[in-house]
Amino acid sequence: MSHTLLHNVLIPFLKGAITVVALGLAAGILTWIERRLLGRLQIRKGPNRVGPQGFFQWIADTVKLVFKEDIVPSRAEKALHLLGPLLLFVPAVVVLGLVPWGPEFTLFGVTTPLHAAADLNVGLLLILAVSTIGVYGIILSGWASNSKYPLLGGLRSAAQLISYEVPMGLAVVSAILMSGSLSMVEIIEAQRKAGVWFVFPGLIAFFLYFVSGVAETNRTPFDLPEAESELVGGFHTEYSGFRWAVFFMSEYGNMISVSAVATTLFFGGWLRPFPNVAWLSFLDVIPAFFWFAGKVFLFLMVYIWFRATFPRYRFDQLMALGWKTLIPISLGNLALVAIAALWGAAGLKVLGAVLVLLVAAGFIAVWMRPARPRSSTTMASPNVEVRA
Amino acid sequence: MSFLDRILLLDIFGGLKLTAKHAARKADTVEYPEQSREPSERFRGMFRLDEERCIKCTLCAIECPINIIYIDWHTEKNAEGKAEKKLDRFDLDMKRCMFCGLCEEACPTNPRSIWLATKTYELGVYERNEGLYLDLKKLTKWDENVKPYPGVDPDKAPVNPAKEK
């Protein structure tokens, strides 16, 4: 086997296949994790019947969905109805492929970066471009269903994406300013060189990115395109069987992608905490990939935590939050980060320290404030005897 | 709400803190078919008649606002030569019962003989007319349709304690 064939065909193909399979599996397992965690947060148990702790629930659900009848409405636009879920799923996979999962590694004498696609010098730009394609999946499936609820869901999704793409883009620009590169690997290397994760100087940018990310993946509290209490099922009302499952896989896939990009831009990707502090080098015992995966997992848990906590925004509130709050903040933040980045690595450290101190001072001020009388609300427990 | 509260998103973090607290709590739900909750003291559940205590006065049938209790009886001489009422029929059409409890209040025996506190609430049946039309046999000895509540002996079902006080 020639060297070119191995490096240009076989390994990329293998890594691509692993990415797709990993995303599918992760999306499945994430449904189970989400239901269990939501159960815990809502003082109930969640699915715990199939397998240990209900772990095989997601397999049972997948099997059920595969064998369900695949209904296409008779007046639907058949080709686009089929294309919709795929258009939503493929960008999630591509984005995950563009994010580096770890540094170079050697296996069976072959050295290759732990990175499904190549490390492009315009990686971040491509991620922004590709992830935006996903909304076509929602709009097209909403329109092709030829039904009013999906259409409304699709339109809501379009409006939401346009509103939240702006603060998200501006938040990403702060990371580019801090690192001076569009390449994902170089952004991580810049964080190693700066000796500080970009989350500290980019505290506001990270917040903006994460909120916009929740909005773009149509998760609670911004799940207006689905809005099962208003629009039946939103854009996937007319879908059933495995096509519906693809929608859910892409929702979880998009969550994973947004978390992976947030990890790379603001939390140092595969780097351990404080990558330049020598005495913390014992943390290198954990391989780089697991640092990356662990950070992504934490973000996903925060997504689920949000879902358990916040009710859905009204549509005008959603628009007001995007245009009147997030975009002005992101513009101000951009100016702040630009000044600090002009100053260099020292500027980033100073900005990070100032932001962290300001937030800490704010919380201390709130905490020291004399408590206002509050209505006494107690958590009522049924306290009923349970017999085995 | 002060400016500081808004800029630090105190309400958002307060909400997150509240849900996080609940994650540490034990689940309040019960694995139903394997475990079940003890019903409250006032809960009586499935009907059960004590034929020994019943004096066949038919007051429960008279009191019933929708007339779903049917009682027929005749008189017999017992071993001591005294006249004694014997039940021919004691039917309770439970599928129409609204559980108002008036039959129990009308019962003159002490302790009361109709509707003992059996606490059985698993009353699902496949055929309504068969399962929920209770005749004398079903009222005194349940058939396979009714599972006794665990821990409560259906033959020694106590009279509703809350009512007897």
**pLDDT tens-digit profile of A12-21?**
788 888 888 8
Q: Residue A348: inside a domain, yes or no?
A: yes
- Does any domain span residue A52? no
Does residue A136 have a pLDDT over 70?
A: yes
Question: Are the C-beta atoms of B94 and B44 separated by less than 8 Å?
Answer: no
Q: How confident is the model at residue A209 (pLDDT cuts 50, 70, 90)?
A: very high
- B33: contact with A, CB 8 A cutoff: no
| CB contact B79 to A (< 8 Å) | no
Average pLDDT, chain B: 78
Report the alpha-carbon distance of residue B90 to residue A335 in Å, rounded: 88
Contact B25 A363 (CB under 8 A): no
Averaged pLDDT for residues A211-218: 87
A42 contacts B15? CB cut-off 8 A: no
Between CA A195 and CA B61 the distance in angstroms is 87
Q: For residue A295, tell me if it sits in a domain.
A: yes
Could you write out the DSSP letters of every residue in B6-29? HHTTHHHHHHHHHHHHHHTSPP--
To probe the interface with A, which of B8, B32, B35, B36 has the most A CB atoms within 10 Å? B8
For residue A336, the distance in angstroms to the closest alpha carbon of chain B comes to: 17
Q: Among residues B30, B40, B147, which one has the least CA distance to residue A386?
A: B30
Phi then psi for B134, rounded to 5 degrees? -95, 120
Show the CA angle centred on residue A200, arms to residues A194 and A205, nearest 5°. 110
The answer to whether residues A249 and A19 touch, using CB atoms and an 8 Å cutoff, is: no
- Note the Cα B132 to chain centre separation in Å: 13
Q: Please answer yes or no on whether B27 and A40 come within 8 Å at the CB atom.
A: yes
pLDDT in tens, A60-86: 988 998 898 888 888 888 888 888 888
Separation of alpha carbons B90 and A210, rounded Å: 70
Cα A324 versus chain centre, distance: 23
Query: Do the chains contact at A362 and B30, CB–CB below 8 Å?
Result: no
Shortest distance, CA A351 to any CA of chain B (angstroms): 18
Kindly give, in sequence order, each residue whose CB lies less than 8 Å from that of residue A112, ignoring residues fewer than 6 positions away: A7, A11, A15, A104, A105
Is A182 domain-assigned?
A: yes
Chain B contact for A359 (CB, 8 A cutoff): yes
Residue B34's closest chain A neighbor by CA? A388
Average confidence (pLDDT) per 10 residues, chain B, 165 residues = 74 85 84 79 78 84 90 85 85 86 83 75 78 78 64 58 49
The reported pLDDT for the residue numbered A230 is 80
Amino acid letter for position A96? L
From A317, A227, A225, A302, select the one nearest A263 (Cα to Cα).
A302
| Long-range contacts, stretch A330-333, CB < 8 angstroms, 24+ apart | A330/A166, A330/A167, A330/A170, A330/A171, A330/A204, A330/A205, A330/A208, A331/A170, A333/A170, A333/A171, A333/A174, A333/A204, A333/A205, A333/A208
The residues pairing with A112 across neighbouring beta strands, listed in sequence order, are: A105
For residue A275, the tally of other CB atoms under 10 A from its CB is 22
The structure tokens listed for B132 are: 């929920």
Cα distances from A224 to residues A113, A153, A210, A370, in angstroms, run 39, 7, 17, 39
A117 is a domain residue? yes
Domain annotation covers residue A18 = no
Overall number of domains in chain A: 1
Q: What percent of chain A has pLDDT over 70?
A: 90
In a domain, A305, yes or no: yes
Q: Does any CB of chain A come closer than 8 Å to the CB of residue B5?
A: yes
Contact B23 A41 (CB under 8 A): yes
Q: Using the beta-carbon criterion (under 8 Å), do B7 and A305 form an inter-chain contact? A: no
A309 contacts in chain B (CB < 8 Å):
15-16, 18-19
B5, B18, B38: residue with CB nearest A366: B5
Q: Of chain A residues 34-73, which have a CB less than 8 A from chain B?
A: 37, 39-45
Interchain contact, B23 vs A45, CB within 8 Å: no
pLDDT at residue B165, as a whole number: 45
Is the model's pLDDT at A237 over the cut of 80?
Answer: yes
Percent of chain A scoring above 90 in pLDDT: 5
Cβ neighbours around B48 below 10 Å, total: 24
Listed in sequence order, the residues at least 6 apart from A342 whose beta carbon sits closer than 8 Å to its beta carbon are none
- The answer to whether the peptide bond before residue B111 is cis (omega within 30 degrees of 0) is yes
B7 vs A57, higher pLDDT? A57
- What values do phi and psi take at A106, rounded to 5? -120, 130
A1 touches chain B (CB under 8 A): no
Asked if A88 contacts A235 with a C-beta cutoff of 8 angstroms, the reply is no
- The pLDDT of residue B26: 84
pLDDT at A324 over 80: yes
**Residues from chain B contacting residue A306 (CB–CB below 8 Å):** 16
Summarize the confidence of residues A318-346 as an average pLDDT.
87
Mean pLDDT value across chain A: 83
Q: Which domain holds residue A266?
A: 71-277+286-364
User: Nearest CA to CA, how far is B125 from chain A (Å)?
Assistant: 24
Residue A129 pLDDT > 80, yes or no?
yes
- Quick one: pLDDT at residue A374? 60
Q: Which helix (H) or strand (E) holds A57?
A: helix A57-67
Sign of CA dihedral A188, A189, A194, A196: positive
Query: According to the model, what pLDDT value does residue A239 have?
Result: 87
By the CB < 8 Å criterion, does B83 face chain A? Answer: no
Q: Which residues lie closer than 8 Å to A344 by C-beta, 6 or more apart?
A: none
pLDDT at A119: 73
Q: Note whether B25 contacts A: Cβ–Cβ < 8 A.
A: yes
**Nearest of A246, A244, A225, A235 to residue A145 by alpha carbon:** A235
Predicted pLDDT of residue B77? 85
State the count of interchain CB pairs (< 8 A) between A and B: 60
Note whether A366 contacts B: Cβ–Cβ < 8 A.
Answer: yes
What is the structure's pLDDT at B65?
Answer: 92
Q: Let me know if B159 is exposed, middle or buried by CB neighbors in 10 A (0-12, 13-18, 19+).
A: buried
Answer whether A88's CB lies under 8 Å from A247's CB: yes
pLDDT at residue A386 in the model: 56
pLDDT for B110: 74
In residues, how long is chain B? 165
CA distance A272 to chain B (A): 26
Q: Is residue A226 part of a domain?
A: yes
For A118-140, what is the mean pLDDT? 85
CA-nearest of A43, A27, A45, A25 to A35 is: A45
Count of helix runs (H) and strand runs (E) in chain B: 7, 4
* Chain A residues with beta carbon closer than 8 angstroms to that of B15: 309-310
